[in-house]
Amino acid sequence: MTETNTKNKAQVSIRTLAIDDIAPIFHLGEQLFASNLYPTLYRTWDQWEVTGAFNTDPDFCLVATIDQHFAGFLLGTLIEKNENIYGYIRWLGVSPDFHRMGIAKQLVDRFIERIIVEGADTVLMDTDPANEAAINFFQKTGFANPCEHVFLSLDLTKHDYYGKLLKYEQNRTAQLTEKSQRRP
C-alpha cells in the first residue's frame, strides 16, 4: 500500500474553529505564506488575522483534522452589500503533510454550505498571482473570471519628505527610551 493510499484512507473531519486552534493556524500560515514565495500574503498574515476571524466570524472559520491531528484551516467571512451577499475566503491553508488529499476541497465545500444558508450566492477569493497551487485548486473547484489586482509599495526611508519624518520619529523614540531607562 502506498503512502498516498494510507493517507487517503485517513479520517478527515471538518469543524468550526476553536480557541485552541488559533496557535496552530497561525504557525501553519507562517510556514505556508512565506516571504520568498508570496510576499503579499506574507506581509498581511499575522496572529490578528486569526484572532480577528475567531472573534468576528466564528461560523465561517473552519478547521480540518485528520485522525484528530490538525491538518488545515479556512478563515472566511460574509459580506453584505446592498442586496448582495458574498462569501469571502480570506485564508485557506493545508499542512504540506496532507496536500492533495482533498482537504482544501472539503473545507471550501463546508464553507459554501454555511454561506448558502445565510443567503450568499457568490464566493470570492484572492491570492498571489504566482500561487499556482491555489489558482489551480480554485479553478478546479469552479472559480472563474480572474481579474488582476495590483499591489504597490512606497519605501518611506527613500522618500524626500517621509524619510525625514521617519528619521525624526525614530530619533524621538530613541531619546524617550533612553530617558526612561535613565530614570531611577
Ligand X SMILES: CC(C)(COP(=O)(O)OP(=O)(O)OC[C@H]1O[C@@H](n2cnc3c(N)ncnc32)[C@H](O)[C@@H]1OP(=O)(O)O)[C@@H](O)C(=O)NCCC(=O)NCCS
Contact set with ligand X (CB under 6 A): 32, 91-94, 99-105, 127, 131, 133-134, 136-137, 140
Q: How far is the CB of 100 from ligand X (least distance, A)?
A: 4
Do residues 25 and 95 make contact, with C-beta atoms less than 8 angstroms apart?
no
CB of 162 to ligand X, least distance (A): 31
Smallest gap from residue 19 Cβ to ligand X (A): 22
Q: How far, in Å, CA of 137 to CA of 135, rounded?
A: 5
**To the nearest whole angstrom, how small is the minimum distance from the Cβ of residue 140 to ligand X?**
4
* Sign of the C-alpha dihedral computed for residues 135, 138, 141 and 146 taken in this order: negative
Of 54 and 91, nearer to ligand X (C-beta) is 91
Of 96 and 184, which has the nearer Cβ to ligand X?
A: 96
Q: β-strand 84-94 against 12-16: which pairing, if any?
A: unpaired
| H-helix segments, the chain | 3-9, 22-32, 39-44, 47-56, 103-117, 132-140, 160-182
Which CB, 15 or 100, lies closer to ligand X? 100
Contacts of 121 (CB under 8 A, 6+ apart): 84, 85
Which CB atom, from 139 or from 171, has the smaller least distance to ligand X?
Answer: 139
